[in-house]
Amino acid sequence: MSQQPFSRPGAVDLSALKRPAPPAGGAPGAAGGPAGPGAGGAPGAGPGGAGVRGAYAVSLDEQNFQATLEASMSAPVLLVFYSPSRMPESAQLAEDLALLSDEFAGRFLAGLVDIDAVPQIAQAMQIPSVPLVVAVLEGRPAPLLQDVVPLEELRTALTQVMQQLASQGMTGRHQPLTAGVAEVEDPDAEPPLDPRFVPAEDALQRGDAAAAVAEYQKLVDANPADTEAAAGLARSKLLQRAGTADLNEARAAAAAAPDDIDAQLLVADLDLLGGHVEDAFSRLVDLVRRTREGDRNRVREHLVELFGVVGNDDPRVQRGRQNLASALF
């Protein structure tokens, strides 16, 4: 297939993928409709069969495609479109993406689309060529990669993408897949603590923020794509910076020296810890407007770090990002 620019902004119209239910007694995958999840190849088989391909990868067909797109509301979904018949090497790209989805431990969900087996999906998304990797964030697709690249290059590219998303406060993570769908958890249940984070969280419980920073920094250094560790690091740094500072004294110092970057950042930290999230964000957005070059970038990075502490799903963060963009541009 010839390479053409990919252009498919906004939501994807999947109405063309709706199919009538199979006749009573008909076996899944019989004539009259494609097989459901798990057909065309057992989980773990080569590209082409719908079904779970690993803890965070799934082969897609019309039945599970929409649910996979909806999963992008909590964390990124990477769709890889490939054709074993027209470009065999594109199938290796699909295998590599499935492999890396396990390495990234839920930072993204890999959806594998064999356009030979399910051409309806490629038609619905107006796929111009293969291979094509599309990133889906909160239901909105954007092209990410249009070439077959070596595994190491793919790993590096995805690490950079995940780092960029983490810097924007997008730290969501998918749950492992079972039978082609994400596990559904009790929303009221307390999520178990990742064993990797126990030393850092124990340090925070002891009031030793410096030790927590050191523990989380080790995890981030070992795996820069670990957005959850990055969020823990940002939170620990916040606690370390605030220390035993007095809010009233900090406010007085900041009021007396409005151009003192350190004084303003400290008040923002203390406001955030005190629950005054919007006050913290507004202070730093105003500071971005008043600063230039190096100082402005320092304030921006500090604000983005605070976004990560609060969480990207928080509406105050979403408003803060809009205000920051307005201040910058």
Instruction: Give pLDDT, residue 185.
Output: 43
Statement to judge: residues 149 and 218 lie in one domain: no
Contact 296, 261 (CB under 8 A): no
216: helix, coil or strand? Answer: helix
Q: What proportion of the chain, given as a percentage, has pLDDT over 90?
A: 40
- Structural contact between residues 310 and 317, judged by C-beta atoms closer than 8 angstroms: yes
Q: Are 128 and 157 part of one and the same domain?
A: yes
Helix/strand/coil for 133: strand
Strands 51-54 and 109-114 come out as: unpaired
Q: Residue 88 is part of a domain; what is its CATH number?
A: 3.40.30.10
Distance, first Cα to last Cα, the chain: 39
pLDDT value, residue 266: 94
CA–CA gap between residue 101 and residue 157 (Å, rounded): 13
Provide the residue type at 86 as one letter: R
In a domain, 141, yes or no: yes
DSSP state of 197: G
Dihedral (C-alpha) 267, 273, 279, 285: value to the nearest 10 degrees?
70
CATH of the domain at 275: 1.25.40
- The pLDDT of residue 192: 62
- Angle in degrees, 0-180, between the axes of helices 261-273 and 277-290, rounded to the nearest 10: 160
Q: What is the pLDDT of residue 193?
A: 67
Q: If you ran DSSP here, which 8-state letter would residue 78 be given?
A: E
Q: Which of 81, 105, 99 is nearest to 228 (CA)?
A: 105
pLDDT single digits (tens) 99-142? 999 888 888 999 999 999 999 998 888 888 899 999 998 888 88
Cβ-based neighbours of 303, under 8 Å, separated by 6 or more: 268, 281, 284, 285, 288, 320, 324
Same domain, 212 and 320: yes
Domain end point (choices 123, 146, 176): 176
183 lies in a domain?
Answer: no
Residue 260: predicted pLDDT: 94
Entry pTM: 0.47
Task: Report the C-alpha gap between 285 and 121 in whole angstroms.
Answer: 43
Cα–Cα distance for residue pair 56/100, rounded to 1 Å:
9
**What residues make up the domain containing 309?**
195-328
State residue 213's pLDDT score.
94
- Quick: pLDDT tens for 212-258: 999 999 999 999 888 888 888 988 998 898 887 888 899 999 999 99
225 domain residue, yes or no: yes
Do 134 and 209 lie in a common domain? no
What's the structural domain count of the chain?
2
Burial of 216 per CB tally in 10 Å (0-12, 13-18, 19+): buried
Query: Is 39 part of a structural domain of the chain?
Result: yes
Angstrom distance (rounded) from CA 161 to CA 284: 26
181 burial class (0-12, 13-18, 19+ CB within 10 angstroms)? middle
Residue 17: name the closest of 33, 4, 1 by CA. Answer: 33
Going by the DSSP 8-state scheme, the letter that residue 21 receives in this structure is P
Where residue 215 falls (left for φ over 0; alpha for ψ -120 to 50; beta otherwise) is alpha
Enumerate residue ranges in the chain where pLDDT < 50. Answer: 1-50, 179-189
Closest CA to 99 of 155, 160, 142, 165: 155
